[in-house]
Amino acid sequence: MRRTTGARLGLSALLLTATCAGTGLAPTAAAADRTPRTPASPALLDAMRRDLGLSPAAALERLADERQAARTERAARKAAGAAYGGSWFDAERGRLTVAVTGRKAAAEVRGTGAAVRLVERGAAELDAAKARIDKFDAPAGVASWRVDPETNGIVVSVVARHRSDNDVSAFLERARATAPVRVATVPEGPRTFAAGTVGGDPYYTGNVRCSIGFSVHGGFVTAGHCGRAGASVRGWDGSAMGTFQGSSFPGDDYAYVSIGHGWWTVPVVLGWGTVPDQLVRGSAEAPVGSSICRSGSTTKWHCGRVLAKNETVNYSDGAVVHQLTKTSVCAQGGDSGGSFLSGDQAQGVTSGGWGNCSSGGETWYQPVNEILNRYGLRLHTA
C-alpha cells in the first residue's frame, strides 16, 4: 500500500478492521456490572439519543444491563436444557426474559437471574418448523420469516402491496401447517446494500463498493454478495489490497478476504470522526432486544435494537439467505459488509435491508461467529 499523509495512512489501517465503532463495558464485581469498562464517548451517547431516544444516563444504564443480559443468557440456556424456548432482552425492565416449556426448568432458570415465561413449544420444535418453511419457494412478496420467542411461534413478514397476492396467500397457508404464524407487513422488500464504485471509500471489487467488517488474523470478513472467491480487492486508494479466499451467497452472506501488499489489520473499528475509534474485545452474542450500532462507508454511524435472530430473508432479486439477525438500524447502498457492534463485542457484518437513513428502515446482518467458524478464522481482538 503506497504511503500518503499520516492521517490518510491511519484511516487505511482502521478500514482494514471495520467500518463501525462501539463502546466498551466493564464486567467486574456485581456493583460494577452496570458500569462501562471504558467511558462511553459523548458522540456515542449522542447517537443513542438520536436513534434510541435515550438520555446519556439511560444509555449508560442500558449498555450495562445488556452486558449483564448477555452473560445471563448463556447461563439460562444451560439451566433450561431441552425446555429452552428462546429469550429476549426487556429494555423497560433492564432484564433478560427466557421462555421455557416446564415448571421445573423455570425454577432453574430463575436461579440465573432471568425472568421466566412458560410456553407451549420449545426452541427446538420452532426451529424445526422454520427449517421446513425454509424449503418452500418464497414469492417476491414474502420478505422474511423467523422464530419469534415472545409469541412462541413463527413471524412471516410480507411486503404490504403484495399482502393479497395469491402466491403470498399460498405460502402463508403452507407455513401455518407447520406452526402458529403471525403475519407482519413491511413497506418494501429487502435488498442487499452493495453500490457502484465511488471514490474514497473503503474497498472495491470489480465495479462494486462495499464496507469492511472485522479484522481477523490474516485479513477481514465481509458480506458474501460483495465478491466471489478469487476476486481481487482494491483499497480506498485504488491500490491492490487482497483476495476473496472464500465467499458464500445466497444461502449465507459472508466472505473472507486475505490481505497483503503492505496492508495490515488492527483490532479497531472506525468511527468516521463521529464516534471515536475503539477496540474490539470479543464476539459475545447480544440477546434480542439489545441496543446495537452499525457503521458503513455510506451512512457512517447509526444505532438501533436487535429485533430477531435466525431469520430467513427473501431479497427482492430472488436470493434467499438463512440465519440472519434483524435490527432496527438503517443502512444504504455501499454499507454492505460493514460492522455491527454491541458494546465492544463484534456481532456481524451487514447483509441488506429495506428503507434508508433518511426515512428509516430495517437491516439484517450475518452473525460474525458463524463466519469465523466456517473459515477457521481468529478475530483480531485487543
- The dihedral formed by the CA atoms of 266, 272, 276 and 277, expressed in degrees to the nearest 10: -10
Give the integer Cα–Cα distance in Å for 62 and 115.
Answer: 17
Q: Is 65 a catalytic residue?
A: no
All residues at 6 or more sequence positions from 323 whose CB lies less than 8 Å from its CB, including other chains: 252, 310, 311, 312, 366, 367, 370
Full DSSP string of 41-106: PHHHHHHHHHHH---HHHHHHHHHHHHHHHHHHHHHHHHHGGGEEEEEEETTTTEEEEEES-HHHH
Measured distance CA(144)–CA(138) in Å, rounded: 9
Report how far apart, in Å, the C-alpha atoms of 145 and of each of 81, 286, 337, 365 are.
25, 20, 22, 15
Cα separation, 26 vs 344, whole angstroms = 10
- Report phi then psi at 369, rounded to 5: -65, -30
- Report the alpha-carbon distance of residue 47 to residue 304 in Å, rounded: 10
Q: Where are the alpha helices (DSSP H) in the chain?
A: 6-15, 42-52, 56-80, 103-110, 123-134, 166-176, 368-375
Q: From CA 257, how far away is CA 243, in angstroms rounded?
A: 5
Nearest CA among 337, 335, 194 for reference residue 256: 337
DSSP-based three-state secondary structure for 131 = helix
Given the residues 87, 215, 225, 252, select the one marked as catalytic.
225
Using DSSP bridges, classify how beta strands 240-248 and 254-259 pair: parallel, antiparallel or unpaired.
Answer: antiparallel
Catalytic residue (choose from 51, 65, 252, 253): 253
Q: Find, among 242, 250, 220, 251, the residue nearest to 372 by Cα.
A: 220
Residue 41 a catalytic site member: no
Residue 336 annotated to the active site: yes
For the chain, give me the number of helices (H) and strands (E)?
7, 23
Which candidate in 157, 247, 297, 336 is catalytic?
Answer: 336
Which residues have a catalytic role annotated?
A: 225, 253, 336
